[in-house]
Amino acid sequence: MQATYVSPRRRYFVYIAPDFQSAGNMSSHEVFMTLQDVPNLWVPLALLGLIIIAAVFFSRSQ
């Protein structure tokens, strides 16, 4: 759920946490992460891997 507060200068998006009264079904992790969010993790992980590979390469070359 997303609430919008409109100020004269900016628009704020406030995330409203879901009610945990029906939190007995914690097998669905849609509160924390969905499967649609997984492809978004590949870019930062790939960049982190490239940084680590470059650091190892340059540390061994000297």
pTM for the model stands at 0.39
The parent domain of residue 58 ranges over 36-62
Phi and psi dihedrals of 26, rounded to 5? -90, 5
Closest listed residue to residue 16, CA positions, set 7, 27, 26, 5: 5
| Residue 48 belongs to a domain | yes
Residue type, 62: Q
Residue 29 lies in a domain: no
- Domain-located, residue 58: yes
In total, how many domains does the chain have? Answer: 1
pLDDT of 40-56, one tens digit each? Answer: 788 888 999 999 999 99
In a domain, 14, yes or no: no
In-domain check, residue 24 = no
Q: Which residue has the higher pLDDT, 55 or 15?
A: 55
Strand partners, 12: 5
